[in-house]
Every structure is written in C-alpha cells, then in structure tokens.
C-alpha cells in the first residue's frame, strides 16, 4: 500500500513539474503538431545541451513518450538516436535520425519489448538493406532486402520456419476499380459551386479521412481548404464514395489515413478535378 502511494505521489510530482514548466513547454497533438493545452496529447520539452537540444515528449499523465535530440529548441529537427515508449514504459521504437530522416537500423517492438521489425535506411532516408519481421515467438516471418526503397530480394516463412508464399508488407487502400475509377467517380459527382465560380475561387482542397478495415470511410474532414463553398463540395463528394478496398499491413487488415487533394480550376470552360493519393 505504501509503495502504491509512493508511486502515485511520484507520478503527481512529475506531472506537476512538467506543467510548471509551461512557459518552456510545447503542447503537441497526436499528429506531432503544435496545439493548445486543451487539444494536446503530449507535452514537449526542449533542454539546451552543448550544440543541440535534448527533446522529450511526455504523455499528459506524466510518462515519457519519446526522447532524443533536436538541432533547434523551438522546431523539431531530429538528430541522432531516438527512443519511443508506451504509457507502460515499454520501448516501442528506436533508431537514428539525420535532420528528420531515418538513417541506419530501426527497430520496432511488440508489447512487452519483444522485437517485431528491423528496418535499414541509407543516408538519404531510403529503405536500404535487410527488412526483417518476426512472429511473436521470435521466429522469422519475413526476410526482404531493399535497395533505394525498392524490394530486390524477398522471402516469407511460416511460423515453423517453412517457406511460404511471399506477400507485400504494405498494401494501401484503393478505390474499387483503381485510380481511374476514382477520378471518374469524382468527375461524375462534383459540381463547381456557383458562388465560387462567380467569385473566381479556385485551388486545391485537401480532404483527410480514414479507410477502415471494413473499407468504409470515416473521420472525413478538411485538412486544408480554400473557401467554405469549395470545401463543402469536396467533402460532399467524398461522403458519397462507396466502400474502398481496405489496406493491409503484414497480411492483416488495418485502418489507414488517406489525404485526397481535390483541385478546382477555372482555367477552361468548367472546373477540373484532380485526385492524388498521399500514402501514410
């Protein structure tokens, strides 16, 4: 009981200390962007050290989430080794950066600190070298090799170590029928708002959404807009879309965030629409 009380007091003191440094603290949302205290997921602290700054992210409850070094003390330019942790204090990822680019060997861990993935990156931040994935029992599941972001050698294994059919590690969500069908759908359903046309408004609206494991779209929102009329029209068309083919990671269905640029142009007799997938 005394030990539990001591832990609670320590946690309270840590959280209080972090908040007491509010003038030197940056509030961060779950995208890693600066935000207000009310919308924050993490607290970021910069501490001067020689020619760089130690940077630490904390969960709002006080536990460490990340630590490493930044070139600057107000903008995160990651340099050198970094480690990331779960709320339970277990390491989740570790590796090095060179001006925000992943370089060298990176490791990802399962819950409990069990090694899951080993990746390698060259000095340009491109995947280069062995890419290894392990089953929870520690046996090798995948042994690929990359060269400048391209797979040049590939092999998958069963949990007993036997050879099995190779499959893509990442499979991104797609509109049924492919990109051409997606463009055709938008072209057939979008209408250039009369107000925007008369006002000469044009540009690209970025719509962000989640393609769920079921293929349904959720959390549809405007990531970057132009004007309410164009923003609403882009949103309306995305909301009309049928279910997509969901994405997969390591053979399992996953939710995937997707950015869809919708371009409105008055350069000809009518608006044009352009869509391009932004992978995450």
Q: Residue 13 domain-assigned? A: yes
CA-CA distance, 117 to 153, in Å (whole number)?
Answer: 17
CA-CA distance, 25 to 240, in Å (whole number)?
Answer: 42
User: Do 15 and 77 have their domain in common?
Assistant: yes
Q: Residue 151 domain-assigned? A: yes
CA-CA distance, 203 to 262, in Å (whole number)?
Answer: 8
Q: State both tokens at 216.
A: 């349904």
Neighbours of 271 (CB within 10 A): 21
Q: Residue 270 domain-assigned? A: no
Question: 134 with 148: CB under 8 angstroms?
Answer: no
State the total domains in the chain. Answer: 3
Domain boundary among 167, 198, 215: 167
Q: Residue 99 domain-assigned? A: no
Q: Residue 199 domain-assigned? A: yes
User: Do 13 and 62 have their domain in common?
Assistant: yes
User: Do 153 and 203 have their domain in common?
Assistant: no
Cα four-point dihedral sign 197, 198, 203, 204: negative
Query: pLDDT tens string for the chain (280 positions)?
Result: 444 333 333 343 444 444 444 336 799 988 788 888 888 999 999 999 989 999 999 999 999 999 999 999 889 999 999 999 999 999 999 999 999 999 999 999 998 889 999 999 999 999 999 999 999 999 999 999 999 999 999 999 999 999 999 999 999 999 999 999 999 999 899 999 999 999 999 999 999 999 999 999 999 999 999 999 999 999 999 999 999 999 999 999 999 999 999 989 887 544 444 333 333 3
User: Do 140 and 199 have their domain in common?
Assistant: no
Q: Residue 186 domain-assigned? A: yes
Q: What is the pLDDT of residue 24?
A: 61
Residue 233 half-sphere exposure toward CB, CA atoms < 13 A: 26
User: Do 29 and 53 have their domain in common?
Assistant: yes
User: Do 158 and 77 have their domain in common?
Assistant: no
* Strand runs labelled E in the chain: 25-28, 42-49, 52-59, 64-70, 78-85, 91-98, 101-109, 115-121, 129-134, 140-147, 150-153, 156-157, 163-164, 170-171, 203-211, 217-224, 247-249, 252-254, 256-264
Q: What is the pLDDT of residue 191?
A: 93
Q: Which domain holds residue 29?
A: 1-89
Q: Residue 102 domain-assigned? A: no
Q: Residue 36 domain-assigned? A: yes
């Amino acid at each position: 009981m005394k030990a539990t009380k001591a832990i609670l007091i320590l946690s309270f003191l840590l959280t209080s200390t972090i908040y007491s440094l509010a003038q030197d603290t940056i509030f961060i949302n779950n995208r890693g962007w600066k935000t207000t205290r009310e919308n924050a997921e993490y607290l970021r602290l910069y501490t001067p050290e020689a020619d760089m700054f130690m940077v630490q992210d904390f969960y709002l409850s006080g536990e460490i989430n990340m630590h490493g070094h930044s070139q600057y003390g107000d903008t995160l330019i990651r340099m050198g080794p970094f480690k990331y942790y779960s709320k339970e204090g277990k390491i989740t990822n570790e590796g090095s950066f060179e001006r925000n680019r992943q370089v060298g060997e990176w490791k990802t861990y399962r819950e409990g600190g069990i090694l899951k993935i080993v990746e390698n990156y060259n000095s340009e931040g491109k995947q280069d070298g062995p890419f290894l994935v392990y089953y929870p029992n520690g046996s090798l599941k995948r042994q690929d090799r990359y060269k400048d972001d391209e797979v040049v050698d590939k092999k998958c294994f069963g949990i007993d170590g036997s050879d099995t059919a190779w499959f893509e590690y990442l499979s991104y969500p797609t509109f049924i029928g492919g990109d051409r069908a997606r463009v055709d759908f938008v072209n057939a359903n979008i209408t250039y708002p009369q107000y925007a046309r008369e006002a000469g408004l044009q540009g690209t609206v970025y719509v962000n959404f989640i393609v769920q494991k079921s293929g349904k779209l959720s959390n549809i929102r405007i990531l970057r807009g132009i004007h309410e009329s164009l923003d609403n029209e882009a949103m309306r068309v995305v909301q009309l879309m049928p279910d997509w083919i969901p994405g997969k990671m390591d053979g399992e269905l996953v939710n995937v965030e997707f950015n869809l640029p919708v371009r409105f142009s008055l350069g000809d007799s009518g608006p044009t629409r352009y869509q391009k997938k932004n992978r995450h």
